[in-house]
Structure 1
Amino acid sequence: MSNIKSLNKWANAHTYLSLDLVRIALGVFLFAKGVSFISDTEYLENLLSSIDKIGGGMFLIHYIVPAHMIGGIMIVFGLLTRWAIIAQLPILIGAVIINFMGQMNIQNLLLALFTLAICLFFVFYGSGKNSADYYFKMEK
């Protein structure tokens, strides 16, 4: 717990508007990806077909879409940002693995790796000063 508090203190001391805009863009991107998956479930099923041997395909579909949509909204507002991003990490790691198990699509691989890197940054950085987390912390 003290590690998280020290990370929050460091992040709040080094908060820049550009990092908040990156966090908001990440949340909008994840929300839009969730909307695209829910509007074209056949595309999502085709993506998951390479790991269909493992099982749990319907569980994955019902986890990916809400995690992207709800997590994206939470990341945009900076509400429980670390928890929302931690929920995204298995999906993003799976997106990278799918590219190696199925048909390699370099554009999807780069997009998944870039999004994963940004998410890992915000797991450590947190939501910053311009967020709901910071606002609620200051209300105490």
Structure 2
Amino acid sequence: MNNVKSLNKWANAHTYLPVDLLRMALGVFLFMKGVYFFSNIQYLVDLLTPIDKIDRIGAGMFLIHYIAPAHLIGGILIFFGLLTRWAIISQLPILICAIIINFMGQMHHQNLLLAILTLAVCIFFLIYGSGKNSADYFFKMQK
């Protein structure tokens, strides 16, 4: 817990508006990806087809119902800077699997680059936190 507090103190002392705008852009991107997955369920199913055994164990529907809502809710939380680290932790398995699936099936260079870039930004905000211009900081100052 002390490590998180020291990281938050460092991040709040070194916060800049472009970093907050990057966090907000990440939130908007994840939200739009969630909306896209909800509106095009077949596209999400096609992305998961390289995993042949997924339909045999019944996890396909679980994954479909986890990925889109996690992107929607996580995107909103990251945009506002509310529970940012928890929202990013819920995104990490999705992004890591997106990278792995690109190597298992047909290689989509654009999807791979997007997943790697999103994963890198998520790891940055997992370490950095939500910053000064966030709901987390606002609620912390209300105490």
| Range class of TM-score, shorter chain | over 0.9
- Residue by residue over 1:63-117, the C-alpha shift from the partner in whole angstroms, topping out at 9 and shown as x without a partner, is 0011000000000000000000000000000000010001001110000000000
Does the alignment pair 1:61 with 2:64? Answer: yes
Does the alignment pair 1:103 with 2:110? Answer: no
Cα displacement (A) at 1:51: 1.3
SS of 1:79's equivalent? Answer: coil
Q: Distance in 2 between the 1:52 and 1:65 partners?
A: 21
Which AA in structure 1 matches 2:72? M
- Residue by residue over 1:48-74, the C-alpha shift from the partner in whole angstroms, topping out at 9 and shown as x without a partner, is 011141441110000001100000000
Change (3 A) 1:52 1:59: farther
* Aligned position for 1:3: 3
Q: Distance in 2 between the 1:89 and 1:63 partners?
A: 13
* Aligned position for 2:25: 25
SS of 1:116's equivalent? Answer: helix
Task: Extract unaligned runs of 5+ from structure 1.
Answer: none
Q: Distance in 1 between the 2:104 and 2:63 partners?
A: 16
How many residues get paired? 140
* Aligned position for 1:73: 76
Please report the RMSD computed on the Cα atoms of aligned residues, expressed in angstroms. Answer: 0.6
TM-score (norm 1): 0.99
Task: Extract unaligned runs of 5+ from structure 2.
Answer: none
Ranges of 4+ aligned residues in structure 1 off by more than 2 Å: none
The 5 Å alignment of 1:95-134 reads: 95-134=98-137
TM-score (norm 2): 0.96
| Partner residue of 1:92 out of 87, 91, 95 | 95
Q: After alignment, is 53-62 or 126-135 more displaced?
A: 53-62
